[in-house]
Amino acid sequence: MQKKLKVVTIGGGSSYTPELLEGFLKRYHELPVSELWLVDVEEGQEKLNIIFDLCKRMVEKAGVPLTVHKTLDRRLALKDADFVTTQLRVGQLKARELDERIPLSHGYLGQETNGAGGLFKGLRTIPVIFDIVKDVQEICPNAWVINFTNPAGMVTEAVYRHTGFKRFIGVCNIPIGMKMFIRDVLALTDSDDLSIDLFGLNHMVFIKDVIVNGKSRFAELLDGVASGRLTAASLFSRASMSAPRFRSKRSPRPAILTGYLN
């Protein structure tokens, strides 16, 4: 029998939490999470309550033996944790507003990863992540920490450079979002093998090539999206809200090049 797993999500009042839980519910036979603890700060109590109630309804409907807990006590939640996920914003949304507006007032990009706002956010966030790592090392040292908190690259590098903790993984959904977008745009099937040659930094990534079944289809993809001839049916609504856009010489309207951002 597989070991039942305990996951602690720090920043549990985030709107990303239901999506995370949905993945656990759909993949319970592969990853048998039996406890999900949602942790937040006092300022986030209202959002935490809303998300907690939603998560309980999701579990009940799915019929999966998973128990959801909520708390403002991080150390209590961490006891016996197998995985810890971090998806937090130090300073709440008011800080995000300042991250964007202050750089723009000086003619610079804000952006919470690689813009000036990303540096602001990193300086606020890294000390908090270090505190979380210290608690994990003390309370559940065998747990893996999976960081979704931006600036994800900066946070992850800081942990590896300045702490002794190595069970730490930084993730971002942009590459998989781009891959889903490309698969949809090119109308690929499950039997098609898709790989993308991608490089760059968190929130500043570029596709160099798209390989389908061993052959490059990058030129076809670029030309089709730029002209508006190719669109993504199932991802279009999400992608259009936040995807980078560019203008083609042959098309006056913006065309979506990548998937949705996190």
- The per-residue pLDDT for range 14-68, each reduced to its tens digit, is 999 999 999 999 999 999 999 999 999 999 999 999 999 999 999 999 999 999 9
Phi, psi (degrees; rounded to nearest 5) at 8: -115, 125
How do 83-86 and 144-147 pair as beta strands? parallel
Q: Could you check whether the bond before residue 254 is cis, i.e. omega within 30 degrees of 0? A: no
What pTM value is reported for the model? 0.82
Decide if pLDDT at 253 tops 50: no
For residues 259 and 262, what is the distance between their CA atoms, to the nearest angstrom? 10
pLDDT digits 0-9 by tens, 68-98: 999 999 999 999 999 999 999 999 999 999 9
For residues 181 and 171, what is the distance between their CA atoms, to the nearest angstrom? 18
Q: Which amino acid is at 144?
A: W
Decide if pLDDT at 241 tops 70: no
Question: In the chain, pLDDT over 90 holds for what percent of residues?
Answer: 74
For residues 28 and 64, what is the distance between their CA atoms, to the nearest angstrom? 8
Decide if pLDDT at 224 tops 70: yes
Least confident residue range of 62-71, 138-147, 193-202: 193-202
Least confident residue range of 43-57, 58-72, 187-201, 237-251: 237-251
Nearest to 121 by CA among 88, 157, 82: 88
